A and B are shown apart, each in its own frame.
Chain A
Amino acid sequence: MTQNNTRTPPAPLVASGSAGERWSGRALAAGIRVGGLLIAILIVIVVFTLLSKPNTFLTITNMLGVMRSMSTIAIVALGLTLVIVVGEIDLSFGYMYGLASILIGVSWIVWGWPIYLSILLAFAAATAVGSINSFLVTVLKIPSFIVTLGTGQLVFGTTLLVSNTATLNPAYPPVGKVVPQAQVDWFFGLSNQSLPLGIPMQAFWMAGVAVVIGFILSRSLFGFRLKAIGGNPVAAELARLPILKYKFAAFILCSLLASLAAMLDFAFIGSVQPNAGVSLLFPVFAAVIIGGASLAGGRGTAIGTLSGALLLAIIANGLALLSAGSYLSNFVLGGVTIAAVVLDRFTQSLRK
């Protein structure tokens, strides 16, 4: 109602609900989903606590380590959630992660740029890659799977070209170059501040990103329309929703968050190598899917994706503590991902 309605509308046939109405339908479904995930996480924690040696798994130090190790996946997955919600797919984020870290490393260490400019360069590149992805998807109408499969390789090629396939470390700059210590301290400080209780810095970044994406998805007009567009693109067009603009925003944010995660990992680890990020594809997608986002579009939450990343990180950590060997963790992670979707289907059919 853009105009004030002077006439009193007829009384609703059914009394307007208030408190009782708030928890029903979609909200409830999302609640069940996250609730189910939290139960799964608790079960996994109990199982690993029983299986592992005393005082190795369920300790504060180990759990803080889990938080740090999940943060990379969580930050990238939160970005991917936006793209998935709007009904598209991005396979290039892992390569974007690699390009962003290499661009920071090369421009800062080899070219001698100030670190601030190097970071800006990485984010500019992310904006460019996101824009190219969304241009091909929205204007040229090429399926995003194909687009990002292709741009991923283009990005990876660029990374190899720029880095000359070398590993970079500010402590060992090329002959004749010096990286100012103040910049090194500031940059490493992005991920290595000493915080109370030993909480890892990256967990704070993750929390910040989660709050922003959570706000976008559940509290903003942008997120509301992302869901509408992903849920029914034809109806969105008839309703004249700004599909093109919003898809650009989703792809660009996804690339930007991959670059943010790359920068934080570089700052934490202290060095970069060109094929960093290539292995992100599976865990990031798994986190989004376990988190309840629908690959068909229109469904996804920040808290869900965050819980998905947490579950994966706990399982990976627990299996590592048990020295389970890599084949077993592959089995478990793959199985958990499929099981999550099967369970989702099952609970959905129960609701109907």
Chain B
Amino acid sequence: MAAAGTPAVDGATVGLGLRIRGLRKWYGDTRALDGLDLDARPGEILGVAGPNGAGKSTLIKILAGEAREDGGTIELDGAVWRPVLDRDRVAVVHQEPQLFPNLSVAENLMVGREGTRGLVRDLDAQERSLMVDLAILEYANRPLGSVPLAIQQRVEIGRALARDARVFLFDEPNSALTPDESTDLFRRIHLLAEAGKVVLLVSHRIAELAQHADRVALILDGLCTTALDGEALTQEGIAAGLVTGQATRESEEQIVVHLGEDAGVALRLADWTHGTGEFHGIDLHVRAGEIIAIVGVEGSGARELVRSIAGFERGTGHIEVAGRVGRSAVTSGTSLVSADRQMSLFSNLSIGDNMVSRLSTEITAGGGALRRGRMLQIAHQLRGQFRVIATSVHLPIRSLSGGNQQKVAIAAAIVKRPEVLVLEEPTRGVDVGSKREIYRLMREYASEGHAVIIYCTEVPEVFEAADLAYVVSDGRLSDPLIVINYADVEALARAVTRLERHSLESAALP
């Protein structure tokens, strides 16, 4: 974007860039960042990778000025910078732009800098040339909400350039873009770096990090553990680095008790295709007693596939749950727990009431009267079985920690005894202890003769919890990986990465 009214400058001479030292952040008792050090030099694209819950999103929030750090320093070009107090220096481009959908593209570019006269002004020369550079001038008078996402993101970039922002933070920017739009976006990201801006690219997509970043910082457990560059910066290197030290199989959970070949097929999909094309022609069968993981980044179609199994995304083709076909087989035979606890729990109900919220005849007597005693009995039993740490099941659900809330959400789904239990990222934002518990509960439920399907974005979770893993890439399902065949999580991570890349390349061939 050197042409945006400012003379092009050599990246190396522009300043010192971003220097983060000892950054700390706590959420209640949970440590999100534990003294993180990170350097981002002007003129380079710094990739940032890390599993969910490692502190990546906290770092983004702090740099975006949306959260206040609890300790540490951030310097920008040698001077102390407090993002909370000075947000104008940073631009964050999310997957969903944070703009005003009801205003026009031009108004979005001007808002906040309209001038003091209170009159609506026209675009000035600088803004006009910016819009030409970004190829958004033709959209100037269209409402922002009506233009494609890729254009909206360019407006977001334009807004930042117009206020002369220094730091550009791209947070999974292309997960909802088409391949062509992605290519264009990355071209612009490279241009920003060449203009001497400090550019951070946060992504789950290892292939893109390896391709576009000059260096990749790995964030694990609230620390920046490694920065890969030069020779070390390969997809395998990133994948292995992300899972190092994570995931150990516990001996008793390691032994997979298959119910044998004669175990019933709990779920069968044939030529299963998404209503709006996120996945196509999926064939899959899952036996009772198995835990299978569907792996894929956002936008790959994996999440949609998993939700469609429970009937919460429209799919066409053949679906069979426990030998029965049709809508009623899906609604009576499956239960879904969403990744976001806000979407699986009732904040106005108590812990116990949440646990029994999916039951009906089990908790009612004649005339639709609730059997409060029975509800309490079930809740107490579940609290014991799921080891929910709560002094009383009458307390509000919000009084529980994230891990315990998740256990309640899963308990509420399991108590309905579905043939196929579907869990989206079952341990997102959950502490290590609760993670173990949740894996134990999944295993226990599977071994009682049910199928458990989990949607995973993280290889360690697959390694610890699943029997089989399928990788979804570009809406296609890979052959299964038999998890027990991989000696360590790095080996599994490499296999998963290979499958993701393989399908990307084969899709690109024709």
Contacts and interface: CB of A to CB of B under 8 A. Distances in A.
B347 A26 contact: no
Nearest to B363: A221
Contacts of A225: 357
Contacts of B337: 238
Residue among B360, B394, B412 with the most chain A CB within 10 A?
B394
Interface residues of A, number: 41
A87 to B, nearest CB: 10
Given A1-B378, A222-B368, A25 B312 contact: no
Interface in B298-357: 312, 331, 336-338, 342-350, 353, 357
A240 B381 contact: no
Contact of B368 (A2, A221, A228): A221
Interface string A127-149: 00000000000000000000000
Contacts of B387: 10, 13
Residue among B363, B367, B370, B390 with the most chain A CB within 10 A?
B370
A349 interface: no
B396 interface: yes
A55 interface: no
B412 to A, nearest CB: 7
B82 interface: no
A298 B392 contact: no
A16 B370 CA distance: 21
A152 interface: no
Contacts of A231: 346-349
B364 interface: yes
B392 A240 contact: no
B392 A17 contact: yes
A231 B6 CA distance: 53
Contacts of A26: 348-350, 394, 396
A298 B387 CA distance: 28
B387 to A, nearest CB: 6
B385 interface: yes
A239 B357 contact: yes
B249 interface: no
B396 A25 contact: yes
B56 to A, nearest CB: 26
A21 B364 contact: no
Nearest to A3: B417
A27 B394 contact: yes
Given A9-B384, A227-B349, A299-B348, A239 B391 contact: no
Contacts, number: 118
B364 A298 contact: no
Contact of A232 (B346, B363, B380): B346
Nearest to B390: A14
Interface in A234-280: 234-241
Contacts of B369: 215, 219-221
A17 B369 CA distance: 23
Given A10-B387, A221-B363, A240-B358, A232 B415 contact: no
A235 to B, nearest CB: 5
Given A3-B417, A11-B384, A220-B369, A238 B343 contact: yes
Interface string B370-392: 10100000101101110101111
Contacts of B8: none
Given A9-B381, A9-B384, A16-B380, A1 B415 contact: yes
Contacts of B360: 221
B16 interface: no
A12 interface: yes
Nearest to A294: B348
B12 interface: no
A213 B44 CA distance: 66
A344 B312 CA distance: 37
B362 A25 contact: no
Contact of A224 (B312, B353, B381): B353
Given A10-B387, A238-B338, A232 B368 contact: no
A230 interface: yes
Contacts of B233: none
B394 A219 contact: no
Interface string B225-244: 00000000000000000000
Nearest to B364: A221
B394 A21 contact: yes
A25 B417 contact: no
Contacts of A240: 331, 358
Contacts of A299: 348
16 contacts: A1-B378, A1-B381, A1-B417, A2-B362, A2-B417, A9-B381, A10-B384, A24-B394, A25-B396, A26-B348, A26-B394, A219-B372, A222-B368, A232-B343, A235-B344, A239-B344
Interface of A: 1-3, 5, 9-14, 16-17, 21-22, 24-27, 215, 219-222, 224-225, 227-228, 230-232, 234-241, 294, 298-299
Given A228-B357, A235-B343, 15 more contacts: A1-B415, A24-B394, A25-B394, A26-B396, A221-B363, A221-B364, A221-B368, A221-B369, A232-B345, A235-B344, A235-B345, A239-B412, A241-B357, A298-B349, A299-B348
